[in-house]
Structure 1
Amino acid sequence: MKKTGLTIAAALAGALLGSPALAQKTVLTVGMQSTDAGVLDPHLNSGTPGKAMLQWMFNGLVRIKPGELSPEFMEPDLAESWTSSTDSKEWTFKLRQGVQCHHGYGEFTSEDAVYSLARAASKETSAFSSDYAAFDKVEAPDKYTVKITLKQAIPSLLGIVMNYHGGNMVCKKAAEELGKEGFAKKPVGTGPFMFQEYVPQQYAKLVANPNYFRGKPKLTEILYRFIPSDSSRDLAFQSGEIDMMLGRQEQAWVDRMNALPGVKVVAMGPAEMSMLHLNMSQPPLDNLKVRQAIAYAVDRNAIWQFRGKNISRPAVSVVPSGYLGTDEKAPLYPFDLAKSKALLAEAGFPNGVTIKAINTTLPSMLSFTEATQALLKRAGITLEIQPVEHATFHQQIRQDLSQVVHFQAARFPIADVYLSQFFHSRAIVKTPTAVTNFSHCKVADAEIDAARSETDKAKQLALWKTAQEKIIKEVCAIPVNEMMQLWAYKDSLDLGYDLKASLNLGPPVLETTRFTK
């Protein structure tokens, strides 16, 4: 049937006004460099893919201002204010009133906060329980007050009640009703976005929380796609299938993305430090000279050039640079191939030695280990790599199955956190208080413990410095390189803040985040 001019004009007007293609975009699609996110329980998930996404669903009592990293930018989150005693052993938090848990689970109150912190402190329900070892009790004097009493003052209390790791606040009714396994598949928080669907190895879908206490999000949905292939992820980004993605930690990738029109590339903090943890409980790594030989065989400058001078930097100590308490001029073993070979011979391995590493298949981490493998080979050290999927990697290294563990990590930027989690005997893997001490290091326990309760700042810094020196001398681990977090996103996406850093390793998506076209 022939259309009249009026009908055609009306159709065109309708298309212009109501066409989905021209409507304001409200769905954010993110591409993640992983096959999966693992468990979706924020108290159990410590991997980059999970942390980056879970931060959009959960709040802490406090948070670091979006886009920043330093504790000096700490601000209210679920707690609208807080105070501490003069000895820093008692902390009182006043909660916001009316905050709603996702999916109709009711108001978030002090009962939920007490439950969350007890859950985070239990090794049965948390991968971060050791962070709460100094807790004496957590109480709810009234519906909107939380009181934390410590056995001794610690340097990072706000860092373990913020929206990071065990500090993520869960809703008691949901966690108890769903159970440990159910909650790991269907997390319930209070954040700007709510869990809707999860298809392992494909995607996770979040939807806007209309009752978010800071206001209804401008985005209606986040589709979080798992695309482990760098080339596939790049193509999806360039074709418009995804709006934001985690990049390959290589200078060439940054240069390529920066050449594209309408794209923003951010090399953000915190830098994750790549460190080789040497399992001193297993031969031949129980021999100090073998460990020293490995340390002398690692050329930090070569790795720096390999990974990109504009997106990485050489490690300076066994604590990342820029943390409160880092010894920026720590006595690391210098690159010395002749010294490495001589030490191997002295240790009884004149013809070389073989060591084994279980390693994640994440491209950026695998390429680092392969580059290190080539460096060690020149000294007669054969590093056999067993690649496994990222979630499996985390499981197996915590079962003490790898002689060498390449772990790439950032933590709350205070030396105590890094030292306690990676180098204190309480944190040795496969022990009741296990965290991420893969080397079985215990040489600096006294200094780490003393620094935690030391109120004199100068003495505290001196203790941390001594701890780092002892760990380096013992060669518990070899710090190599620090990598910035690389993200690219379309310039039509307004994050709502200046992205300089994110402790959760992915850009915060806020209630104000929106597309401008």
Structure 2
Amino acid sequence: MMSNLERLVRFGIPFMLVLIFSMTAAAQTDRLRLGMTTGDEGTVGPYTYNSGDPGWNMLLLQYDTLYQLDADGVAQPWLARNLALSDDGLSFTMDLRDDVTWHDGEAFTAEDVAFSIDYFQQFLHPRWTRVVRPIESVEVLGDFQVRMQLSALTPSLELGIFSDVPMVPEHIWSVIGDPAEHTFTIEDNVGNGPYRLVEYAPDQFYRFQAYANYWAGTPQIDELVFIRYADMTGALAAIQANEVDMLVSSIPPEQADFLGMNPDLAVAQGPLFSTQMINFDVTRPPFDMPEVRQAISLAIDREDIVETVYLGQATLGNPGWVHPDSPRFNPDIATTYDPEAAAALLDEVGIVDSDGDGIREFAGAPFMPELLTPSDNALRIRIGDLVGEMLNAVGIGVQVEVVEGSILGDAVWPGFDVRQGRDYELATFGWSPPLQADPTRVASLVHSNPDIASFNLTGYSSPEMDALLDALNATNDSQRQQELLNEIQTLIAEDLPFIMILYPNGVYAYRPAVYDDWLFMTGQGIFHKLSFLPAAARP
């Protein structure tokens, strides 16, 4: 039977206006209405959510991790009480909280931790299988204590593994078995987080209910309703019409001042660790030549893109990947715009304009690569257009193709499995903040081994890079890590397996009269589980 909520969405009734007029002012914070513009997130389970933002944070509303990032982006004990590392760095003992329950009332125990690690190792997950692979064994020492043995030294355990991998209940997932053979429903989402998904209409809405027995404290909002809009234009209209109370995605920069003039709205801003970038297939000529990739980078005026597309509300892309605000940033790397040097590099490798028509030739044909950009992302479309203009100015006849997000995904990351290869030349792309939050995870982007580099979407391979990354993954010494990260950033800036365009600022619109206790997490924005918890419950 169709629920009232689903009926209102399906038949186009502005149901959020109906709800707001039927509620008293005191009850408004019982239900928070959040607008989202990304694709459908499935049943928002560990193997069904789709996007890093907002999908990953919607997932973590339901499932807790052993550690949790605080407002400064620092990993703090969460389901774990503490972690004691051995002298050789190859094993550690972890004490767990003894007051945590799953949504069905079952106790969270050490058995669930051991099961979760084993499950993600056994059944491929594009995000977590690589992360937990260094854990050689998990020994249950008691109901609330585990000992883990590592196969090798592993940097940033708290941030790189335990703040990222959700725990799942053994009594539920042991029955599910192989996720590839299971048809997931929302009933499978038995987590231990502050919310549980209780209603879902594909491509329309999600409704989450607060878990009253959440160990860290009862969430401040009883119900979260996520309404999906086809694009940002629809979402912006919705928040201005009082149909939603907050937009989970960062709004276009040009809207910040405009919405800020609305007395019923507020705008929260700050730096994000999300990325806007250009990916190559570096196995495909001529993009297999570093000189060509360097020329393309030199031809792109990042400052112009920041000012034109983001109205200055972004940070210039670092060719070495790491955000300049990160403590791991290598300050010796410079971002350079030099179209004359770009043209000279192309001349050196024989990609020249022999007939004077303004387009260079490669392999006897005009050099006119295709640049894919997603139709549901206006900012990336604009970035693609500007990059196309800049490359055309140095004789690269870029053809910008605006395609559906699913088509771009199938070309760049088919099946979310880099082993399946790729089928594109150039593409606008970007990663959500967690990947930048821990720069030691850079191996997942540029190592040649797909078991390590589950996010290597460009096909980049370098023995020198592999050696540096292997050394990084083999030390827990912070100073040595920084030395290696400096070398890795330098090599990325030289080889350019991808081009960093910029790091956007987060700009979030919300209705403060409905809810005004948002927490801006460094690099992550305001949409995350901590924003819904009482201040005393936040790490």
- TM-score tier after normalising by the smaller chain length: 0.7 to 0.9
Alignment gaps of 5+ in structure 2:
1-20, 353-358, 361-366, 415-421
Aligned equivalents of 2:496 and 2:429: distance in 1? 15
Aligned equivalents of 2:273 and 2:476: distance in 1? 28
Q: Is the 8 A contact 2:82 2:96 kept in 1?
A: yes
How much has 1:125 moved relative to structure 2?
3.7
2:27 to 21, 24, 49: 24
Bigger mean CA deviation after superposition, 396-405 or 380-389? 380-389
1:321 to 302, 324, 327: 324
Change (3 A) 1:55 1:492: farther
Q: Is the 8 A contact 1:237 1:244 kept in 2?
A: yes
2:423 to 401, 406, 414: 401
How much has 1:313 moved relative to structure 2?
0.9
1:172 lines up with 2:170 in the alignment? yes
Q: Is the 8 A contact 2:388 2:398 kept in 1?
A: yes
How much has 1:393 moved relative to structure 2?
3.7
2:534 to 493, 509, 512: 512
Residue 303 of structure 2 aligns to which amino acid in structure 1? Answer: N
Structure 2 partner of 1:77: 78
How much has 1:314 moved relative to structure 2?
0.3
1:488 lines up with 2:488 in the alignment? no
How much has 1:496 moved relative to structure 2?
4.2
Bigger mean CA deviation after superposition, 356-365 or 25-34? 356-365
2:445 to 408, 414, 422: 422
1:117 lines up with 2:117 in the alignment? yes
Structure 2 partner of 1:9: none
Aligned equivalents of 1:194 and 1:355: distance in 2? 46
Per-residue Cα deviation, 1:15-54 (whole angstroms, up to 9, x for no partner): xxx9733451211110112232256233564431312322
Change (3 A) 1:253 1:463: same
Change (3 A) 1:33 1:497: closer
Q: Is the 8 A contact 2:446 2:456 kept in 1?
A: yes
Aligned equivalents of 2:196 and 2:380: distance in 1? 31
Q: Is the 8 A contact 1:250 1:308 kept in 2?
A: yes
Q: Is the 8 A contact 1:29 1:222 kept in 2?
A: yes
How much has 1:122 moved relative to structure 2?
4.2
Question: Does the residue aligned with 1:368 lie in a helix, a strand or coil?
Answer: helix
Q: Is the 8 A contact 1:365 1:408 kept in 2?
A: no
1:59 to 39, 64, 75: 64
How much has 1:269 moved relative to structure 2?
4.1
Structure 2 partner of 1:382: 397
Residue 55 of structure 2 aligns to which amino acid in structure 1? Answer: G
Per-residue Cα deviation, 1:177-223 (whole angstroms, up to 9, x for no partner): 34524447543311111011222211111111122112333322111
Q: Is the 8 A contact 1:495 1:510 kept in 2?
A: no
State the TM-score, normalized to the length of structure 2. Answer: 0.82
Question: Does the residue aligned with 2:266 lie in a helix, a strand or coil?
Answer: strand
Question: Does the residue aligned with 2:272 lie in a helix, a strand or coil?
Answer: strand
How much has 1:382 moved relative to structure 2?
2.9
Structure 1 partner of 2:206: 204
Aligned equivalents of 1:422 and 1:134: distance in 2? 17
1:423-438 equivalence runs, <5 A? 423-427=446-450, 434-438=453-457
Sequence identity (%)? 22
How much has 1:467 moved relative to structure 2?
1.6
Per-residue Cα deviation, 1:106-151 (whole angstroms, up to 9, x for no partner): 2211111112222333452443322223222122222111222212
Aligned equivalents of 1:60 and 1:383: distance in 2? 44
How much has 1:413 moved relative to structure 2?
2.5
Residue 27 of structure 1 aligns to which amino acid in structure 2? Answer: R
State the TM-score, normalized to the length of structure 1. Answer: 0.86
Question: Does the residue aligned with 1:471 lie in a helix, a strand or coil?
Answer: helix
Alignment gaps of 5+ in structure 1:
1-17
How much has 1:387 moved relative to structure 2?
3.5
Bigger mean CA deviation after superposition, 168-177 or 291-300? 168-177
Q: What is the RMSD computed on CA atoms of the aligned residues?
A: 2.6
Aligned equivalents of 2:22 and 2:378: distance in 1? 40
Number of residue-to-residue matches in the alignment: 483
1:460 lines up with 2:481 in the alignment? yes
1:413 lines up with 2:437 in the alignment? yes
Q: Is the 8 A contact 1:110 1:140 kept in 2?
A: yes
Question: Does the residue aligned with 2:226 lie in a helix, a strand or coil?
Answer: strand
Change (3 A) 1:357 1:384: same
1:35 lines up with 2:54 in the alignment? no
